[in-house]
C-alpha cells in the first residue's frame, strides 16, 4: 500500500436546468417578468434524448427526491467526503444556452449569466470551502463577458479567489481563435484564469450534421478539438496571450499527439502563410490541459500505456488532470484510473497537475490510496 494521493476533481456539474427558479430569482425584475411570460429558456438545438434524465446517476437523486446536482451538501457527502477530495471545480453547462448567440434578448443573456454566478456562489461555494467555481459568461458578447469576469474576480468579496476558470462551449459562432474572443482571453490572462471548453453542442456537433442517438453523440465529442485547437494556434492566440491556459473538459486527450504531428507537418510544409515562431506542438504542450473522464479503455491495457507514454514524452506529463463528471452516469471515481499507472503518474494526474494550474491547495495525507 502507498501513501494516499491527494485528489482534485476538475469536472463536477450542478443541476443542468436553465429555468431553475432559484437562478431566475437573481434576475432583475424586468427579466423575471420576461421569463415568466415567455416561458423557459431555450435548450441547445442538438440535444438528444438521454437514457436517464440529465444523463445522471440514479443514486445521485437527493434523499428528498430532488434532481442530481441540485444539493451541494449531498454532493459533498457523495463525492468530496467519500473520496476524500481536496477540492472540486463546479462547471455549469446550463450557462451555454445563454451565450448571447441568439434565441434570447442580449440584455437577458448578460443578466442571466450574472444570476447564475450569484446563485452558484450562494448555493455551492458558500456551502463548502472545497467547491470552486467556473465563471459563466455571455461569450458571444465579449464586452459583457469581460465585465462578468471582472465582477466575479473583484466584487464577490471573500469569494473572489474561489472562481478558478472561465467556462465556454466548444462550438461557438466563430472559430475559437477569432479576434472577437480576444477580449475574453485578455481578461483571463489578466486574472490568471484558464479558459475551459466543455463538451456540449449548442449549434452543430459534427461537420456533417446532427447524430440521431445520444451514444452516437457521446462518441463524437472529440471532433470538437481539431478546429478549436488549430484555430487557437494558427490565429496566434498563444503568441498574443503567452500566459493563457486552455482546459479541454470531457473532450478526451489521446488524440493530442497524432494531431500535433499533423499540425507540425502542415506548419513545416507552408510556414510562409503563418508568422508563428514556434511549432504547433510546442504551443499545445505549453498551453493546453486535458481532463480524464471519459477515460480511454482499450481491451489491451498495454495500448493505454503506449498512448500515455507518447503523451508524456511529448512534453505533456503535467497537462492531464483527473475529473469525475459527477453526477453523470459515466462517473469515474479516483480509483478508476488504469492500475498500470505508476505512483508518480497517479500523484500528478489525481491532484498535483490541477493544483499547479488552479492554485488549489492539496490536503496532505488525504485522497486515493492505491492498494
pLDDT > 70 fraction of the chain, expressed in percent and rounded: 95
Grid coordinates representing 201?
453542442
**What is the number of other CB atoms lying within 10 angstroms of the CB of residue 234?**
18
Query: How high is the pLDDT of residue 208?
Result: 73
Domain housing 148? 8-358
Residue 365 forms part of a structural domain = no
DSSP code, position 102: S
Given a cut of 60, whether residue 69 has pLDDT beyond it is: yes
What pLDDT is attached to residue 56? 85
Q: What's the angle, vertex CA 36, arms to CA 32 and CA 40, rounded to 5?
A: 105
- Of 93-97, 200-204, 216-220, 351-355, least confident by mean pLDDT is 200-204
Q: How far is CA 110 from CA 18, 68, 250, in A?
A: 14, 26, 26
Q: Is residue 53 part of a domain?
A: yes
The mean-pLDDT minimum among 62-66, 123-127, 239-243 falls in 62-66
With vertex at residue 192, the alpha carbon angle to CA 189 and CA 195, rounded to the nearest 5 degrees, is 70
Residue 345 in this model has a pLDDT that exceeds 60: yes
Assess contact for 117 and 165: CB atoms under 8 A. no
**Domain count for the chain:** 1
Whether 57 shows a pLDDT value over 80: the answer reads yes
Q: What is the CATH number of the domain that holds 268?
A: 3.20.20.140
> 153 is written with which cell numbers?
474576480
Q: What is the pTM of this model?
A: 0.94
Q: What residues contact residue 10 under an 8 Å CB cut-off, 6+ apart?
A: 88, 89, 247, 249, 291, 321, 322, 323, 354
β-strand 246-249 against 320-321: which pairing, if any?
A: unpaired
In the beta sheet, which residues pair with residue 291? 321
Give 52's pLDDT tier (boundaries 50, 70, 90).
confident
pLDDT value of position 1: 64
> What's the rounded mean pLDDT across residues 143-168?
97
Predicted confidence at residue 309, as pLDDT, reads 96
Mean pLDDT score across all residues of the chain: 91
User: Is 367 contained in some domain?
Assistant: no
Helices (H), 252-317: 256-269, 280-287, 301-311
* Integer Rg of the chain from CA: 20
Q: Is 112 contained in some domain? A: yes
* Mean pLDDT in residue range 260-269: 95
| Phi, psi dihedrals of residue 369, rounded to the nearest 5° | -105, 125
The pLDDT score that the predictor gives to residue 275 is: 82
Instruction: Provide, rounded to the nearest whole percent, the portion of the chain with pLDDT above 90.
Output: 71
Residue 300 lies in a domain: yes
d(CA 309, CA 316): 10
Selected residue with higher pLDDT from 54 and 62: 62
Q: Is pLDDT at 101 greater than 90 in this prediction?
A: no
pLDDT (tens digit per residue) in 162-199: 999 999 988 888 999 999 999 999 999 999 999 999 98
Q: How far is it, in rounded angstroms, from Cα 7 to Cα 170?
A: 26
Mean pLDDT value of segment 23-35: 93
**Least confident range of 22-36, 192-206, 273-287:** 192-206
For residue 294, being part of any structural domain is answered with yes
Of residues 204 and 118, more confidence is placed in 118
Q: What's the whole-number mean pLDDT along residues 216-231?
A: 85
CB atoms within 10 A of CB 221: 19
Domain for residue 370, yes or no? no
Whether residue 225 lies inside any domain: the answer is yes
Q: What is the rounded distance in angstroms from the CA atom of residue 126 to the CA atom of residue 157?
A: 12
- Counting other chains too, the contacts that 185-188 makes at CB distance below 8 Å and 24 or more residues apart are 185/237, 185/240, 185/241, 185/244, 186/146, 186/241, 187/145, 187/146, 187/149, 187/150, 188/149, 188/241, 188/244
Amino acid at each position: 500500500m502507498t501513501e494516499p494521493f491527494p485528489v482534485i476533481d476538475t469536472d463536477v456539474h450542478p443541476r443542468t436546468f436553465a429555468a431553475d427558479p432559484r437562478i431566475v430569482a437573481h434576475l432583475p425584475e424586468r427579466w423575471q417578468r420576461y421569463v415568466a411570460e415567455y416561458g423557459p429558456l431555450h435548450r441547445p438545438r442538438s440535444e438528444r434524448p438521454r437514457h436517464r434524465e440529465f444523463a445522471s446517476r440514479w443514486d445521485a437523486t437527493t434523499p428528498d427526491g430532488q434532481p442530481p446536482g441540485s444539493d451541494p451538501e449531498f454532493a459533498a457527502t457523495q463525492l468530496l467526503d467519500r473520496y476524500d477530495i481536496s477540492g472540486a471545480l463546479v462547471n455549469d453547462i446550463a450557462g451555454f444556452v445563454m451565450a448571447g448567440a441568439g434565441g434570447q434578448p442580449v440584455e437577458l443573456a448578460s443578466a442571466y449569466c450574472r444570476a447564475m454566478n450569484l446563485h452558484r456562489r450562494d448555493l455551492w461555494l458558500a456551502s463548502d470551502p472545497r467547491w470552486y467555481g467556473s465563471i459563466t459568461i455571455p461569450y458571444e458578447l465579449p464586452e459583457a463577458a469581460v465585465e462578468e469576469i471582472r465582477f466575479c474576480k473583484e466584487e464577490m468579496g471573500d469569494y473572489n479567489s474561489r472562481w478558478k476558470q472561465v467556462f465556454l462551449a466548444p462550438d461557438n459562432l466563430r472559430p475559437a481563435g477569432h479576434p472577437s474572443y480576444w477580449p475574453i482571453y485578455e481578461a483571463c490572462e489578466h486574472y490568471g484564469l484558464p479558459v475551459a471548453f466543455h463538451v456540449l453542442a449548442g449549434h452543430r456537433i459534427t461537420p456533417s450534421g446532427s447524430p440521431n442517438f445520444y451514444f452516437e453523440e457521446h462518441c463524437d465529442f472529440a471532433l470538437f478539438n481539431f478546429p478549436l485547437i488549430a484555430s487557437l494556434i494558427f490565429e496566434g492566440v498563444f503568441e498574443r496571450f503567452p500566459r493563457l491556459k486552455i482546459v479541454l473538459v470531457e473532450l478526451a486527450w489521446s488524440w493530442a499527439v497524432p494531431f500535433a504531428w499533423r499540425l507540425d507537418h502542415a506548419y513545416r510544409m507552408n510556414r510562409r502563410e503563418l508568422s508563428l515562431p514556434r511549432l504547433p506542438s510546442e504551443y499545445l504542450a505549453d498551453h493546453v490541459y486535458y481532463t480524464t473522464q471519459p477515460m480511454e479503455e482499450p481491451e489491451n491495457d498495454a495500448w493505454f500505456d503506449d498512448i500515455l507514454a507518447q503523451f508524456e514524452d511529448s512534453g505533456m506529463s503535467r497537462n492531464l488532470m483527473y475529473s469525475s463528471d459527477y453526477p453523470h452516469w459515466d462517473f469515474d471515481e479516483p480509483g478508476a484510473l488504469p492500475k498500470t499507472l505508476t505512483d508518480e503518474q497517479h500523484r500528478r494526474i489525481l491532484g498535483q497537475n490541477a493544483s499547479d494550474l488552479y492554485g488549489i491547495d492539496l490536503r496532505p495525507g488525504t485522497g486515493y490510496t492505491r492498494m
